[in-house]
Structure 1
Amino acid sequence: MDGDRMISLEERGVSRRTAMLATGGALGSTFALSVQPVQAQTMITTPADGLTAGEVKIKTKDGKDMAGYRAMPATGQGFGTILVVQEIWGVHAHIADVCRRFAKAGYCAIAPELYFRQGDPRGIPEIPKILSEIVAKVPDEQVMGDLDASVAFVKAEGKADTAKLGITGFCWGGRIVWLYDAHNPAVKAGVAWYGRVVGNATPLTPKHPIDIAKQLNGPVLGLYGGADTGIPVDTLDKMREALKAAGTPAAAKSEIVIYPDTPHAFNADYRPSYRKQPAEDGWKRALAWFKANGV
């Protein structure tokens, strides 16, 4: 990192050590610069005792090495498999912690670094810059392929059962949950946390959840905040209508839960948006959803 950039970070109240950790630390070990300072008083930290947890390298279909964070029980095998899809900040400490939470519940959870071709958002302090320079350049097709590669990685390890496959994701990753559920026939169930369901078609994002309701392979549980200014409740009503009109078993079984007076990112315990009661209720629902649907 050049000197001018470091000065600007320190002017924002970000220490040199924090900046270096965010840009050079192990995957899942630090928080992205753009969410500093974290809310330590509400942040959940799940220990790795009894787990096999840490960074792995996943070979993609185009022969590249993609980093990922994987956590699973240290003993046993045949665990259900959960794909964990990142927020816009990539696989930082919160996403790694979510993987460990699933591992403590008996799953193998893996979170691939899905922006690795476009850049690393963890070291960029400006959210608009992350959105324009990285997120906006990530094709849905690329993401689907990289998630397929993550499933193949888990299968090759031989510890987890990828026939019991689930997917969950947050914000940007919440939208991806719906899309990947429709993409991969092996998906048994999905849990989408506050991912948008409608949008404009573009070459990189040709379809949105409302467009693929009929193609869902496993039922999806959507968890949303009623006060989320970026995902209006009327769009969720339209998604419910699309699911009802789809007429398929997976769509009929899908469910959208809206927590009243709750903002976007209510599960992000390291941010001011965190809401303890909806987050805890959503987590219980997510675990029950996966169990009920064979994950």
Structure 2
Amino acid sequence: MTDQNEKENLSQLNRREFVIKTALTTGYALAVMPIAHSAISTNLSGIEEKDVMIPVGKDNIPAYQVIPTGNGPFPVLAICHEIFGLHEHIRDVCRRFAKEGFFVIAPSLYYRQGDVTKLKDIPEIMTKVVSKVTTKQVNGDIDATFAFIKANKKANMSKTNIVGFCWGGKTVWLYASHNPKIKTGIAFYGPLVGTSPVQPQAAVDIASSLTVPVLGLYGGKDKYITWDHIAQMEKILEKGKSSSKIIVYPDADHGFFADYRESYNKKAATEALEQMTIWIRKHNGL
């Protein structure tokens, strides 16, 4: 019986070591392992990638930048990462959008608080890192990101856009309120209600005064962002002048765009991507 227990313990240890090694090798956050077979991997054909450091006051934060080959200038798309940080999925999403003709940059918005890609689960990520990240810091970092690429001749700063996923989706709503000069925002299943000491405002709190057109893309089976939350947001948006709107995919769950997770819904993800493209082109005159 003791030998059997030792074998089981050893087997569990080996599996854990395999998961850790796989996460480190592929660049995915440890908390999202194992990776689903549906995970998309985008090559570098026709695009150029670079890891950069963005000055923010006395600090510097890392970011991943991907630009189409050619002279440009290209419309700009800033990407706000999900709760798992700037891991491989977000980097791959950057490459996908660069292939669509965008100057893409994704800043690491948790950098000062810690590296969430090495944490084992969501509760640990929330407690050790996310709970310490303020809206003021995030807005400032995104401001600095746009200022950083302004000097790049390939960036068309008259056509700036921002997209975010989950935690980054909420960030999009709040940043669109902070910076009315951007052309559009696209929020994939970003929380709409609920505040905290570091984020004293929710998306519903800024909805009526919003002037930037934001497209919200949500899943009807999402247990975290409910139909009631969406209805509340839509009612407030109707009172404003931003022309923002929300699209709900009834059969999709939270994280439906995350192709590396079980929540991935290819149909909803494809349709949402089409709607996002239409939205950006419409409001940027492309």
Question: TM-score by structure 1 length?
Answer: 0.89
- Aligned twin of 1:54: 50
Which residue pairs with 1:277 in the alignment? Answer: 267
Which residue of structure 2 lines up, in the alignment, with residue 211 of structure 1?
A: 205
Query: Which of the numbers 52, 59, 66 marks the counterpart of 1:64?
Result: 59
The aligned amino acid for 2:267 is Q
Q: Return the match for 1:267 from 257, 260, 268.
A: 257
Aligned to 1:43: 39
Distance 2:14 2:159 in 1: 45
For residues 125 and 197 of structure 2, what CA distance do their matches in structure 1 show? 19
CA positional deviation for 1:94: 0.6
1:214 Cα offset (Å)? 2.9
Cα distance in 2 for residues equivalent to 1:15 and 1:143 = 34
How far off its partner does 1:157 sit? 2.2
Q: Residue 230 in 1 paired to residue 224 in 2?
A: yes
For each residue in 1:86-110, what CA deviation from the matched residue of structure 2 results, as whole angstroms up to 9, or x when unmatched?
0111011110111111100100111
Matched to 1:263, the amino acid is D
Provide Cα deviations, 1:152-211, integer angstroms capped at 9, x if missing partner. 1111222111220111000000001111111112211111000011113x3311111111
**Where does residue 3 of structure 1 map in the other structure?**
none
Q: Give the root-mean-square deviation of aligned CA atoms.
A: 2.0
Asked if the contact 2:23/2:33 (under 8 Å) is kept, the reply is no
Please show how residues 122-271 of structure 1 align to structure 2 within 5 Å.
122-200=117-195, 202-246=196-240, 248=241, 250=242, 253-271=243-261
Instruction: Report how far residue 138 of structure 1 moved.
Output: 0.4
AA matched with 2:226 = P
Find the aligned partners of 2:14 and 2:54 in 1 and give their Cα distance. Answer: 35
| Percent of residue pairs identical | 41
* Residues 187 and 217 in structure 1, CA contact (< 8 A), matched pair in contact too: no
Alpha-carbon distance in structure 2 between the residues aligned to 1:183 and 1:12: 48
Give unpaired runs (5+ residues) of structure 2. Answer: 1-8
What SS does the aligned partner of 1:111 have? strand
CA distance in 1, matches of 2:13, 2:83: 24
Per the alignment, residue 32 of structure 1 pairs with: 29
Relative to structure 1, the CA distance from residue 48 to residue 91 in structure 2 (aligned partners, 3 Å threshold; closer, same or farther) is same
Matches within 5 A, 1:106-117: 106-117=101-112
Q: Of the two, which has the highest radius of gyration?
A: 2
Q: What is the alpha-carbon distance in structure 2 between the residues aligned to residue 86 and residue 165 of structure 1?
A: 17
The one of 59, 64, 73 equivalent to 1:78 is 73
In structure 2, distance between residues paired with 1:226 and 1:207:
24
Letter of the aligned partner of 2:215 in structure 1?
L
- SS of match in other structure, 1:122: helix
Mapped pair 1:19 → 2:20: yes
Residues 226/149 of structure 1: CA separation in 2 closer, same or farther (3 Å cut)? same
Matched AA of 1:241: K
**Residue ranges of structure 1 left out of the alignment (5+ in a row):** 1-6
Q: Aligned with 1:187: secondary structure?
A: coil
User: 1:20 Cα deviation (Å)?
Assistant: 5.8
- How many aligned residue pairs are there? 277
Secondary structure in 2 matching 1:224: strand
